[in-house]
Amino acid sequence: MLGTEQAILDAAERRIRGGGYNGFSFRDLAEDVGVKSASVHYHFPTKTDLVVAVARRYSERFYEAVEALKSDGSSPIDAWRGVFREALRVDDQMCLCGVLGAETNGLPSEVANEARAFFTRGIEVLSLELDEPSRAVEVFATLEGAMLLARSLGDVAIFDQATAHLG
Amino acid sequence: MLGTEQAILDAAERRIRGGGYNGFSFRDLAEDVGVKSASVHYHFPTKTDLVVAVARRYSERFYEAVEALKSDGSSPIDAWRGVFREALRVDDQMCLCGVLGAETNGLPSEVANEARAFFTRGIEVLSLELDEPSRAVEVFATLEGAMLLARSLGDVAIFDQATAHLG
DNA sequence: CATCTCCTATCTATCAGTAGATAGACGACC
DNA sequence: GGTCGTCTATCTACTGATAGATAGGAGATG
């Protein structure tokens, strides 16, 4: 079933964003989805395969959401802040690649590469969008850090305080 | 031996900052230090005990280092940036509490509390130090995010770019 | 001084539980 | 009949944790 595959990706994304790569098991996902762990291996032979797929889907959706907000008339910074903020508000969770980036060691290299790719792309895109391209790294870092703090302290207001100055 | 206890804390800090709470085992630490895993349990009965001790020591040293830089004449922001930057440059590693904060779920509550305490204290201290107290959260978030990006991308220059504007 | 006792720090050995992963059987669907 | 998706059952490796033994030092007692 295609539904199972999506459900596995959903469950994996939720668990990674909550507790990181080493914070969940195939059995956890199987229980979340309502299948047996062997079935998870059927769809994603290894944990690396699975997490790479999660990261790619996350990244794709993320940049689509930014574009969508911009075509609604938001400024680049508002669009980026909006996407991060919604993720925090709706899911009460960290950025997937932020979590993976934090635990870079002890990650299969393929997975670490996906996190890197997400960041590299973000900096590139922001550089093209901003009036001052040199601010791209600053803006991105502040958004990631704001998410980290807000998530850890369990308070979305922290995110708003940390990002209010961006513009 | 007191040396063993310190060596265990050192090894644990290094491993956590590299790969997070779930990214290492007692046996890993035992090998790092050159003892058996039962000896690690002798000094720190549970993994929670150990990581709480690591987090407290890290926090204490961190805030001492900030004070030291300030009494050398650095501005508050330069002191904070300096401590983070040195950690990144010397150890090529993330902020311990940043890593723990990212994987908040799947952490024993005692450990999550230590990360929270580190952040809360940081925001408080910065609020008192800055001319504009409202910037405390912004500054802290930017520093953490800058570390995250720089660490993941393996490039200290990213940290400098992300934090140059702070003042 | 010699001995006895206690404590510290470590070891070996082992536990139950869980990790990621695989083989092979079963039914459903085209 | 073949492919797809799931199952049961199992494997090996590793996890955090514990039990019990041992060596060596500190301090008191005789």
How many C-beta atoms surround the C-beta of residue B3 within 10 A? 8
Percent of chain B with pLDDT over 70: 99
- Whole-angstrom Cα distance, residue A15 to residue A70? 29
Q: Do A99 and B102 touch (CB under 8 A)?
A: yes
pLDDT tens-place string over residues A79-127: 999 999 999 999 889 999 999 999 999 899 999 999 999 999 999 999 9
Burial of A7 (0-12, 13-18, 19+ CB in 10 A): middle
Residue of B nearest to A122 (CA): B149
- Minimal CA–CA distance to A86: which of A53, A120, A49, A61? A61
How is chain B classified by DSSP, letter by letter? Answer: -HHHHHHHHHHHHHHHHHH-GGG--HHHHHHHHTS-HHHHHHHSSSHHHHHHHHHHHHHHHHHHHHHHHHHTT--HHHHHHHHHHHHHHHH----HHHHHHHT-TTS-HHHHHHHHHHHHHHHHHHHHHSSSGGGHHHHHHHHHHHHHHHHHHT-HHHHHHHHGGG-
Nucleotides of D under 7 A from a protein CB: 5-9, 14-20
CB A145 within 8 A of CB A162: yes
Q: Do B20 and A106 touch (CB under 8 A)?
A: yes
Residue of A nearest to B135 (CA): A162
Q: How confident is the model at residue A167 (pLDDT cuts 50, 70, 90)?
A: confident
- Whole-angstrom Cα distance, residue A7 to residue A3? 6
Tell me the average pLDDT across A24-53.
95
> How much is the pTM?
0.94
Strand C footprint, Cβ within 7 Å: A 24-28, 37-38, 41, 45-48; B 1-2, 4, 30, 34-39, 42-43
pLDDT tens-place string over residues B108-166: 999 999 999 999 999 999 999 999 998 999 999 999 999 999 999 999 999 999 999 99
The whole-number pLDDT of residue A3 equals 86
